[in-house]
Amino acid sequence: MDKHGRITIPQNVRKRMNLESGSKFLVSPDSEESRIVLYHVGTAESCVAEARMRLTNVPGAIARVAQALTDEKIDIITSSFPSSKGETITGAMLLNLAKTEMPLTKLASKLKTLQFVKQVSIHKV
């Protein structure tokens, strides 16, 4: 790792995985195993967004958000909603926007109309 925190992926790995300049990754720290895991989530041209949200902690809330995204032809690349015993649960989803034409502002507004969605922010990555 250089002084700016950048990590170089060896050329043979880049070739084997068809990685090019501008490739997008999800970085997942695993402190229990003392490692960092990189997940390749798209190319420079990929339409990928991160949706952070706070939901009422009720059974099926995450599934209903997933269904609303599916209705708009949006695929969930990955999601993380750590368990909570509180009234709300906070987490994030990484979204593939390649098949949708819905603008992010409109998508956020649609999700906010779901009764159990308390807060949503969506931005491209």
Compute φ and ψ for 25, nearest 5 degrees: -135, 150
| Average pLDDT score over residue span 11-33 | 85
Contact 56, 63 (CB under 8 A): no
Residues of the chain within CATH 3.30.70.260 domain(s) are: 48-124
Tell me the three state secondary structure of residue 16. Answer: helix
* Residue keyed to tokens 């995204």: 69
Of the options 3.30.70.260, 3.30.365.10, 3.40.50.720, 2.30.110.10, the CATH number for the domain spanning 48-124: 3.30.70.260
Confidence (pTM): 0.75
Give mean pLDDT, residues 2-25: 90
Of 25-34, 66-75, 93-102, which one has max mean pLDDT? 66-75
- What's the mean pLDDT in 77-99? 92
- Residue among 95, 98, 122, 96 at smallest CA distance from 109: 122
**Residue 91 CB partners (closer than 8 Å, separation 6+):** 52, 53, 55, 62, 79, 80, 81, 82
